[in-house]
Amino acid sequence: MNFNKFIQKLVPRHDNFFKLFEEDVQNLMVGGKTLEEAFHFPLSDESKQKLRKIEDIEHEGDMITHRIFRELSASFVVPFDREDIHMLTSSIDDVLDHIQGISKRIFLYEINNFPEAGLQIVHTLNESITELGKAVPLLRDMDNKAKIHDACVHINSCENKADDLFEHAVADLFRNCKDPIELIKIKEILVGLEMATDKCEDAANAIESIVIKNS
């Protein structure tokens, strides 16, 4: 038995942290799925309702984030490095913030049409979020490190795919969109989607750091 596992058996695992991590990523999964279901143009009444729902999901995510940070501040012994816990929690919160920002801009900018590449990026983003949903519960047991690593590699691949989709979408936008105002609106939403996939990768990096330090 290595030293880290010996220490883990002596020190309480703080199950409340794991419950909060899992609650946080499950809420993010709801947000990602809701955006994916709503991201069809022109918007139907059902899509508009789903976009409005994202604000409540984001608010719930903020509440969970605050609970994790309070737990982190109040606990003398924590299951992982404090910086890694902070980075993982902040990154999950950032992904949901970007999703909420995208949904809000679609309403404010009165978006009625959007390039097909946008939906492809949304699918890729939701794929990343799904992998986070797999990886986070596995942190309860470092014997799962191979499965955790596979999920993180998948997230990194999704981020690369989203970058490629984003670059081609922007290039097509500059070639084909003749309305400069519409171009700015669409490009800003594309940027938000790409940034959300970046934050998924940040969360994956935090998870990888946790595994390395606790294996």
Segment 147-156, tens digit of pLDDT: 999 999 999 9
Lowest mean pLDDT among 14-18, 128-132, 171-175: 14-18
Superfamily of domain 15-213: Phosphate transport system protein phou homolog 2; domain 2 (1.20.58.220)
pLDDT, residue 19, reads 94
pLDDT, residue 4, reads 53
The residue ranking higher by pLDDT, 65 or 14, is 65
- Give yes or no for residue 12 having a pLDDT over 90: no
The residue ranking higher by pLDDT, 132 or 13, is 132
Contact between 126 and 33 under an 8 Å Cβ cutoff? The reply is yes
- Give yes or no for residue 182 having a pLDDT over 50: yes
pLDDT, residue 10, reads 43
Q: What angle do CA 100, 115, 196 make, to 5 degrees?
A: 30
Q: Is the peptide bond before 42 cis (omega within 30 degrees of 0)?
A: yes
- Give yes or no for residue 133 having a pLDDT over 60: yes
Q: What mean pLDDT value characterizes the chain? A: 92
Spell out the domain ranges in the chain.
15-213
Percent above pLDDT 90 for the chain = 83
- Give yes or no for residue 3 having a pLDDT over 80: no
pLDDT, residue 11, reads 47
- Give yes or no for residue 62 having a pLDDT over 80: yes
- Where do the H-state alpha helices sit in the chain? 3-10, 15-38, 45-74, 82-108, 116-138, 145-176, 180-213
- Reported as a pLDDT band with limits 50, 70 and 90, residue 7 is very low
Percent above pLDDT 70 for the chain = 93
Question: Left (φ > 0), alpha (ψ -120 to 50) or beta: where does 73 sit?
Answer: alpha
pLDDT, residue 100, reads 97
- Reported as a pLDDT band with limits 50, 70 and 90, residue 5 is low
pLDDT, residue 14, reads 64
- Reported as a pLDDT band with limits 50, 70 and 90, residue 75 is confident
Place of tokens 């404010």: 108
Predicted TM-score (pTM) above 0.85:
yes
> Among 89, 90, 87, 34, which residue's Cα sits nearest to residue 57?
34
